[in-house]
Structure 1
């Protein structure tokens, strides 16, 4: 998707108006295996780029989800608390973790495009 950007830590961020959805990539959920628990931040939390934003646990491991850009958490995907498997089913759609009101939308330009991320995955697989 053209409005989606990616990090080397396997988070994605998709701009929707003046907010951005944040989640983990399909590659990340595949590496984790079956997701069994998701911990989300409180609405109103201010996150700096690279700061821990959420936690995801699977049958294999626990992993942090980092804020790909700085902003304020304006919404969280509460469905993931009751049904964390949504992350495995649709990690880059219904499996989003949080919405951020961005401090600086131009910060997205420092992240990878879908094509760049695809090439990056090929170098680590």
Structure 2
């Protein structure tokens, strides 16, 4: 697989992930996330796949807007890709509205013929 193909595939997956987050679409997110996902939030709390999907599905976490900036996709061989950039978002978490301004790293891994997100790590920008 060429780097260009990997970049195009990951760009589509990132767009699908962002839309699923905005829609609160747990079925779409379930398909994108690896069973062994580690999803860290900007408040330094981490969730497993099941925990993250529960928070999204219950409305505990609601994404009101998400804007990605300076997104870079770096293929790491044929079966992994690192995505970095900056995310600005408006969310509700536990009923409290928050504005997020983070740098982020996302790791995708190809398992068989399917890409899955295995790591999300944000760093708040002061």
What interval of TM-score do these two structures reach, taking the shorter chain for normalisation? under 0.3
Larger radius of gyration: 2
Q: More helix per residue: 1 or 2?
A: 2
Give the TM-score taking structure 2 as reference length.
Answer: 0.27
The structure with the largest strand share of the pair is 2
Greater RCO, CA 8 A, separation 6+: 1
Give the TM-score normalised by the residue count of structure 1: 0.27
